[in-house]
Chain A
Amino acid sequence: DAGITQSPRHKVTETGTPVTLRCHQTENHRYMYWYRQDPGHGLRLIHYSYGVKDTDKGEVSDGYSVSRSKTEDFLLTLESATSSQTSVYFCAINQGATGQETQYFGPGTRLLVL
């Protein structure tokens, strides 16, 4: 599993509250990713990072922000959670020097926004 952990693993929150999900890796990989997975949509890329303080948007980035102040941690923040952000969130790392090689995924965070 390339030493990837996510916290929390489950969270229930209310509409309008801020939520931060944490991804932690132990192997110093350059690339880290946040995906969301919803029925009928597969896995969609939210944001990714290619180094400390270097991030870029994915296909579904609206309503999300990210930060990477240390190589090992990649944070995903929902500034003001909405019910449409109820989903399962997966963090991943890419083991290559670019983002094209094998990815390893964390166990996921189930988020319910009421």
Chain B
Amino acid sequence: SQQGEEDPQALSIQEGENATMNCSYKTSINNLQWYRQNSGRGLVHLILIRSNEREKHSGRLRVTLDTSKKSSSLLITASRAADTASYFCATPNQAGTALIFGKGTTLSVSS
């Protein structure tokens, strides 16, 4: 399986702090994606980083990819209460026909 595994499982921080979550995967990949899920809602795509990229930014999000270590990190800077959600990494399956998701990191940002 190419399922990504997020770490930590849960993270609690104060507003204004940075939040970092990590994802490890098992085999070589074409790309790695991060998604957010607010309670009771569907997943929302945040960012896609390709295997030939090392870092990518989108607003307050910064994603890194280290293919030698088979790991990725998602950094959310200056967190807000609205960032409270679960965050999932996803990688393509070996056939390249579907995404396989990790179990997620639950982020709680308190004001």
Which of chain A's residues have a CB closer than 8 A to the CB of B92? Answer: 99-100
Please tell me if the beta carbons of B99 and A99 are within 8 angstroms of each other in the complex: yes
Interface residues on B, range: 20 to 34
B102 touches A42 (CB 8 A): yes
B43 interfacial by beta-carbon distance below 8 Å: yes
Q: Which residues of B contact A45 (CB under 8 A)?
A: 98, 100
| Binding-face segment, A11-19, A71-79, A102-110 | A102-110
Give the interface of B toward A (CB within 8 A).
Answer: 1, 30-31, 33, 35, 40-45, 48, 88, 90, 92-93, 95-104
**Additional A-B contacts beyond A48-B98, A92-B42 (16; CB < 8 A):** A1-B42, A31-B98, A40-B103, A42-B101, A44-B101, A59-B1, A59-B100, A98-B97, A99-B93, A99-B95, A100-B92, A100-B96, A101-B31, A101-B48, A106-B42, A108-B41
